[in-house]
């Protein structure tokens, strides 16, 4: 039967492609081989219907406010390892918001990736998407969460699953942030997932937007969206960020061209604003950065995270700036460092923003939003953190050495 033989051969090629991809990933180890990391999270064994078979963890700071952030880890990670690396619970201590961490199991996916590419798990009311929605209900019931202040973010497979949640439950989220992820419905199977990651699926903005509009009965208003990607990402090609922006600018009825561009902590930030001048979409493409989430180590109030696999020190904290985009960084508190004990929160230094393109309308600032920096860096002279400078210097040094051009003493 030639047809059956062709199908078997195609499935075998698909299996080999997937296994090769998983071997290629820098963190591709089994859970038994993963080192234990300190966890600040609390398991929630029972949270209601769980059609996706996920685990639930939460973090509740002292005297929490009514805001909630859903955090989705990447492949080979756990809820605890991603929290440690991205610094979300430290941010929660400082600003008072609650966290919920869905966690994938090896029974669902051998490398603990969220199954963003499976129809059952990426559909409203079904699979993993429904389990995550139920966790939000549980947090809302237990902690009096404000339904207008619920947010979602994730890295890699967690970023792609963030896109799923924003599309399938848009009425639930005020905003979301996708780090090294892909557009909603860029894949409906493993083979398409690989093609989207490595080759990128290109569609017209309206076609992308129609996929979101068809995912739920919701007709607006739509969640605000933040997109982050490494310019040297070889696992999920950076062009996926362009397709994500096409999808969400169309959903919001905006042009694919940003209203303004500015420099934040030495990196370009592109911003799309709505008719009222509010920032509704932003994007950061970090040049030379591989697959992962940007982190920044240091003593100032904008540095969060611990470098590791998929958690890359480049001098800018994606978690902090995502929380700021969500509107969660207005009120600071004394924080408790689990390793160093209690210490006062340092004086806040707002990220230096250098505008490089004038917007057609002045930025709108919502009540209670962070004030814009009083003295922006002049165009052409972006602020450079020590982390950024070291990262660039090390990259240049390695390139010169590999090319045999490094000056010998």
Query: In 3D, which of 294, 270, 292, 290 has the Cα closest to residue 282?
Result: 270
Structure-token pair, residue 122: 């990426």
- Exposed/middle/buried for 332, CB within 10 Å: 0-12, 13-18, 19+? middle
- Say which of 81, 89, 156, 283 is annotated catalytic: 156
Task: Based on the residue annotation, tell me whether 156 is a catalytic residue of this protein.
Answer: yes
The whole-angstrom separation of Cα 42 and Cα 228 is 28
Q: How many CB atoms lie within 10 A of CB 393?
A: 10
d(CA 61, CA 180): 28
Q: What are the φ and ψ backbone dihedral angles of 19, each rounded to 5 degrees?
A: -65, -40
User: Encoding tokens for residue 203?
Assistant: 């569609």
Active site residues: 156
């Amino acid at each position: 039967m030639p047809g059956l033989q062709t199908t078997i051969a195609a499935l075998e090629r698909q299996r080999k492609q997937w296994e090769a991809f998983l071997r290629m990933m820098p963190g591709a180890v089994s859970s038994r081989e993963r080192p234990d990391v300190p966890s600040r999270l609390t398991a929630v064994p029972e949270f209601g219907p769980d059609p996706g078979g996920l685990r639930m963890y939460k973090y509740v700071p002292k005297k929490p406010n009514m805001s909630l952030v859903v955090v989705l880890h990447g492949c080979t990670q756990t809820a605890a390892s991603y929290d440690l690396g991205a610094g979300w619970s430290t941010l929660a201590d400082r600003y008072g918001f609650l966290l919920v961490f869905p966690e994938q199991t090896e029974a669902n996916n051998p490398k603990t990736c969220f199954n963003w590419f499976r129809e059952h798990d990426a559909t409203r009311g079904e699979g993993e998407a429904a389990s995550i929605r139920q966790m939000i209900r549980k947090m809302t019931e237990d902690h009096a969460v404000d339904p207008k202040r619920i947010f979602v973010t994730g890295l890699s497979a967690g970023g792609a699953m963030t896109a799923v949640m924003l599309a399938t439950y848009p009425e639930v989220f005020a905003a979301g942030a996708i780090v090294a992820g892909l557009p909603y419905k860029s894949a409906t199977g493993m083979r398409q997932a690989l093609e989207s990651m490595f080759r990128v699926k290109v569609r017209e903005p309206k076609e992308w937007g129609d996929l979101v509009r068809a995912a739920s009965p919701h007709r607006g208003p739509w969640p605000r969206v933040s997109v982050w990607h490494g310019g040297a990402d070889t696992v999920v090609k950076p062009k996926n960020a362009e397709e994500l922006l096409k999808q969400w600018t169309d959903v919001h009825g905006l042009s694919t061209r940003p209203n303004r561009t500015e420099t934040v902590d030495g990196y370009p930030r592109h911003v799309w604003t709505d008719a009222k001048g509010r920032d509704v979409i932003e994007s950061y493409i970090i040049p030379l950065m591989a697959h992962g989430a940007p982190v920044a180590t240091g003593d100032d109030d904008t540095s969060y995270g611990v470098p590791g696999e998929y958690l890359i020190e480049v001098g800018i904290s994606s978690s902090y700036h995502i929380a700021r985009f969500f509107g969660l960084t207005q009120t600071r508190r004394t924080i408790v460092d689990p390793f160093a004990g209690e210490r006062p929160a340092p004086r806040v230094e707002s990220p230096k923003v250098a505008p490089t393109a004038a917007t057609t309308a002045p930025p709108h600032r919502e009540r209670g939003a962070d004030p814009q920096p009083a003295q922006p860096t002049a165009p052409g002279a972006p602020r450079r953190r020590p982390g950024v400078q070291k990262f660039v210097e090390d990259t240049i040094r390695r390139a010169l050495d590999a090319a045999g051009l490094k000056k010998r003493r």
